[in-house]
Chains A and B, each alone.
Chain A
Amino acid sequence: MRTMWTIARREYSRYFTTPAAYLAAFLFLLVLGIIFYANIAASTMRSFMMPGSAPGVEIIVNPMTTLLVFIVPALTMRLLAEEQRMGTIELLLTSPVRDAELIVGKWLGSFLFVATLIVIALLYPVALNQLVSPGIDWGPVITGFLGLLLMAATLTALGTAVSSLFNNQIAAFVATLALFLLLWLLGFPSQSMGGSNLWQYLDLSHHFYDTFARGILDTRDVIYYLSGAALGLFAGTVIIETRRWR
């Protein structure tokens, strides 16, 4: 357990020394700011025609999910791919650290960094609260940000697993992004054509927009994201273990 925290701490602090992570964080907050501004501007225009239609917190939370899909691969791509390229994985795997501790530690470091970004983004609902009267409904803010954290946990866990497959960061990035987009759009065809519910259930966004974003806390969605994170961590551990046998 202690070594797991050691690895997590190292990964977390490493984000603050690499320009790529700063760039990702900067883009995340910048794009979010632009979307926020555009939404506020649009709502202001609209309020002249339809008074009383103040924007809710969904104008912040919904774009954040999309941004996570693109930012997380950039933040997780390095986690194990870099160790494998540099050969430092040999030191980690010959240290008295269990493979699971290594994977969970790596994941935790990246998850905490993404969580930090999400927490920083709480500034936007606070700002929105100042802009609209009589203030915003804080229910959806709480569930929305909780949902974002859960989704981030899943995405970073999957990203960690994909990173452990590669020696090359760029390959890890592309593969992770492809996986996320696939999961993101999984429910799309069945949504428009009827079809099976299974695809919708597996869909990453489905569990967010209909519930968390609307202030609803459904245990099914919590379980979906938590099991997604567990699956990613399990897969990552298995991948590292099988690497030893090659």
Chain B
Amino acid sequence: MTQTMIAVQGLTKTYGPRVAIDHLNFGAKKGEILGFLGPNGAGKTTTMRILTGYMPPTTGTARIAGFHVVDDSLEVRQRVGYLPETVPLYNDMSVIDYLIYMGQLRRVPKVEDRAWEALEQVGMEDRADSFIGALSKGMRQRVGLAQAILHRPEVLILDEPTIGLDPTQVVEVRSLIQEIGKEHTVLLSTHILAEAQQLCDRVLIINKGRIIAEDTPENLQLRLQGGTRILVTVQGAPQESLLKRLRALDGIRLVTAGADGRVEIVAEEGREVRPQIARAVLESGHSLLEMRRAAMSLEEIFLQLIGGETEAEAAAGTAAEAPPEPAEDTPTEEA
């Protein structure tokens, strides 16, 4: 059950001088719903496009179910279900024909039965013969989801699956994702904090191409409730005894161990706990390499996300993420 389905190391993608994502490291286990939380343009779509084999990274590696996204691209694509943010569908096809076509492309055995099954899973079997062009946004989203789960992929990647939906549709799609998440590993991106909290087992907060926090939704909540963040780096991996010791300290709200000997500590506001932390590190037999107060970027992002949420509900957010699509809107002409 603890098989690693997504493994990303040092993933970087640059578009000319612009760095879209910068040395991302993360992983996801089987049966996990991993959330990608961040404002628009943070690099969520870029990461997803790399994981689905749509485009190669500039540097770094990513593996899906053990397969390299560039070297074993076809194997990866066979194992990944993907719902792009724009939900691309063929408007001139009927729902069922579309699913059968996509199933054939992915060599799904008994494709017709499977297409009907997927359609049932998203609750659209009564619209099987409708033309996709005539469907509402919520229904298109569901057809997109059906398409993504069609070949029973081990990993499901959903880019902003609830964007642009009305509140009832949002609820429907979210429960659908929860249902699907029981069988598949799901990576979903969102810029709505509440959604990530509701759906995900673990959340990555990403901003400007970097992961700035990675935790369970509950812990994130704690970390975001103000307080002072202190980053400690010790030599080697931090022992459990150290974490226990730190948690036991007065005025410490949360202790999380990160990669490369980093430990993130959230202390109550206005209390000087650094001497105690330093002592605890040394006494537990670690060498202290670095200790500093972290910038409050998490809170800034948090505010942005809160802002994004209300904005999204008002405008049913349509802003596209990088890379910029070729402009479709014609410049306004003057008479």
Contact = CB atoms under 8 A, between A and B. Distances in A.
B103 to A, nearest CB: 10
Contacts of B106: 95-96
Contacts of B91: 86
A2 B108 CA distance: 12
B88 A96 contact: no
A210 interface: no
B335 interface: no
Nearest to B82: A94
Contacts of A246: 15, 55, 323
A90 B107 contact: no
B105 interface: yes
A246 B58 CA distance: 10
Given A88-B90, A96-B106, A244 B101 contact: no
Contacts of A85: 328
B202 interface: no
Interface residues of B, number: 31
Interface in A1-36: 2-3, 6-7, 10, 14, 17-18
Contact of B105 (A17, A86, A97, A167): A97
Interface in B53-108: 53-56, 74-75, 77-78, 80, 82, 84, 86, 88-92, 101-102, 104-107
Chain A CB count within 10 A is highest, among B52, B88, B147, for: B88
Nearest to A10: B101
B55 A96 contact: no
Interface in B35-60: 49, 52-56
Contact of A14 (B15, B53, B92): B92
A35 to B, nearest CB: 33
B56 to A, nearest CB: 6
B102 A91 contact: yes
Contact of A244 (B54, B74, B86, B104): B54
Contacts of B78: 96
Contacts of A91: 82, 84, 88, 102, 147
A91 B101 CA distance: 12
B17 interface: no
B55 A245 contact: yes
B331 interface: no
Contacts, number: 68
Contact of B101 (A2, A6, A94, A96): A6
A92 interface: yes
Contacts of B80: 94
A86 B88 contact: yes
B326 interface: yes
Given A6-B104, A167-B326, A245-B55, A90 B74 contact: no
A104 B91 CA distance: 23
Contact of B56 (A7, A87, A245): A245
Contacts of A3: 104-105, 107
Chain B CB count within 10 A is highest, among A85, A87, A92, for: A87
A94 B54 contact: yes
Interface in B89-142: 89-92, 101-102, 104-107
A41 interface: no
A245 B14 CA distance: 10
B92 A87 contact: no
A94 B52 contact: yes
Interface string A54-70: 00000000000000000
Interface in A194-246: 244-246
Contacts of B55: 244-246
A88 B74 contact: no
Contacts of B92: 14, 17-18
Contacts of A90: 49, 54, 82, 84, 86, 88
Contacts of A95: 77, 102, 105-106
A8 B140 CA distance: 25
Contacts of A92: 105
A126 B52 CA distance: 54
A98 B107 CA distance: 13
Nearest to A167: B326
A93 interface: yes
Nearest to A243: B55
Nearest to B327: A167
Contacts of A89: 88
Contacts of B84: 87, 90-91
Interface of A: 2-3, 6-7, 10, 14, 17-18, 85-98, 167, 244-246
Interface of B: 15, 49, 52-56, 74-75, 77-78, 80, 82, 84, 86, 88-92, 101-102, 104-107, 147, 323, 325-326, 328
Nearest 7 A-B pairs (CB), nearest first? A87-B88, A88-B88, A94-B52, A6-B104, A96-B77, A96-B78, A95-B105
Given A6-B101, A91-B147, A97-B77, 19 more contacts: A2-B104, A3-B104, A6-B105, A10-B101, A87-B86, A88-B88, A89-B88, A90-B49, A90-B54, A90-B86, A91-B82, A91-B88, A94-B52, A94-B53, A94-B80, A95-B105, A96-B106, A244-B55, A244-B56
